[in-house]
């Protein structure tokens, strides 16, 4: 592909703590569960059940950074917290139908920080090696894994699809509303719906399914405030039997690096 139709990676994001703010990267390494450090940590209630922006939209304002062996958490109006990355004490946790997973508890200081922020008892946990398989219906090797992400290792969206959506709304929204890992520049709106396999940089991906969107896309990722858009508008023309679609879930076929500016090759 060349010229106006050339497809490239415009943005890469990882979300170190599930449902907290993302980090924009120039390059990310693909490991067995997705991008390195993506959804590596998660907040759980005292029963071990995962907590997200669906219940607490202001989690979007929690900004994690990683330097060496330290996870730093910052949020408005509270002191920042430095969490030594621990892989010792474990506890059972649940993500959707994946029950009694084992995760590393990240200590009492992190638990107290999030408990005060959310005004309820909770803990911060870190994923253990391997974690959990994707939906068996979409497995081909039996080795497709995911960490604390909802269901699949990667979410891909495109700027052309976002432009199509924004043209239908009074107030445009940024691509960050959809919390993608890989953002595509170039091409046409919703072309990604027809892809089956793609190559980006060193990595080949299998396109699994359309991502069905929930009310989380109505949360402003800068302020943590919830609205009714863009889900209402998206639902007016992107609704199908299983939900309201925007973006595609991917799994990797190998490990390697993906970089902003990489060309995207459509294999199938």
* Span 252-265, pLDDT tens digits: 999 999 999 999 99
Which whole number is the average pLDDT over 53-73?
97
Q: In the prediction, which pLDDT does 247 show?
A: 98
Identify the DSSP state of 149: S
- Give residue-wise pLDDT tens across range 202-252: 999 999 999 999 999 999 999 999 999 999 999 999 999 999 999 999 999
Q: What does the buried/exposed string (b/e) look like for 59-80 if buried means 16 or more CB atoms within 10 Å of the residue's CB?
A: bbbbbbebeeeebebebeeeee
Rounded to whole angstroms, the Cα distance separating 161 from 152 reads 21
Which whole number is the average pLDDT over 61-82?
97
- Give residue-wise pLDDT tens across range 72-100: 999 999 999 999 998 889 999 999 989 88
Which whole number is the average pLDDT over 47-56?
97
Phi/psi at 267 (5° precision): -90, -35
Which whole number is the average pLDDT over 58-82?
97
Which whole number is the average pLDDT over 24-33?
97
Q: How far is CA 97 from CA 151, 184, 212, 236, 264, in A?
A: 10, 31, 17, 29, 33
Domain boundaries, the chain: 3-266
Query: Whole-model pTM?
Result: 0.95
The model's confidence at residue 1, banded by pLDDT at 50, 70 and 90, is very low
- Give residue-wise pLDDT tens across range 109-150: 999 999 999 999 999 999 998 778 888 778 877 678 999 999
Residue 49: CB atoms within 10 A of its CB come to: 13
Residue 240 makes CB contacts below 8 A (sequence gap 6+) with: 210
Residue 182 makes CB contacts below 8 A (sequence gap 6+) with: 9, 11, 12, 154, 155, 156, 157, 200, 250, 258
Q: In the prediction, which pLDDT does 144 show?
A: 87
**Are the CB atoms for 59 and 43 separated by under 8 Å?**
yes
Rounded to whole angstroms, the Cα distance separating 50 from 131 reads 15
Which whole number is the average pLDDT over 197-202?
96
Q: Which two tokens stand for residue 31?
A: 């490991």
The model's confidence at residue 3, banded by pLDDT at 50, 70 and 90, is very low
Q: In the prediction, which pLDDT does 140 show?
A: 78
Report the CATH architecture of 3-266. Beta Barrel (2.40)
- Give residue-wise pLDDT tens across range 147-177: 999 999 999 999 999 999 999 999 999 999 9
């Amino acid at each position: 592909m060349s010229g106006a139709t050339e497809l490239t990676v415009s943005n890469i994001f990882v979300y170190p703590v599930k449902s907290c703010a993302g980090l924009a990267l120039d390059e990310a390494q693909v490991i067995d569960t997705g991008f390195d450090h993506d959804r590596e940590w998660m907040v759980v209630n005292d029963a071990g059940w995962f907590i997200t922006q669906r219940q607490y939209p202001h989690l979007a304002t929690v900004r994690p950074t990683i330097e060496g062996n330290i996870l730093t958490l910052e949020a408005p109006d509270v002191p920042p917290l430095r969490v030594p990355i621990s892989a010792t004490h474990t506890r059972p946790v649940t993500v959707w139908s994946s029950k009694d997973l084992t995760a590393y508890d990240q200590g009492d200081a992190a638990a107290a920080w999030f408990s005060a922020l959310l005004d309820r008892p909770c803990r911060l946990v870190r994923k253990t090696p391997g974690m959990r398989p994707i939906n068996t219906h979409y497995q081909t090797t039996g080795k497709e894994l995911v960490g604390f992400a909802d269901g699949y290792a990667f979410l891909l969206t495109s700027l052309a699809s976002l432009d199509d959506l924004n043209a239908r709304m009074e107030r445009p929204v940024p691509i960050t509303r959809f919390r993608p890992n890989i953002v595509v520049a170039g091409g046409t709106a919703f072309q990604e719906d027809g892809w089956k396999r793609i190559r980006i940089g060193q990595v080949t991906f299998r396109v699994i399914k359309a991502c069905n969107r929930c009310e989380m896309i109505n949360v402003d990722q800068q302020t943590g405030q919830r609205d009714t858009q863009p889900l209402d508008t998206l639902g007016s023309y992107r609704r199908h039997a299983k939900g309201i679609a925007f973006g595609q879930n991917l799994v990797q076929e190998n490990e390697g690096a993906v970089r902003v500016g990489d060309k995207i090759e459509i294999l199938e």
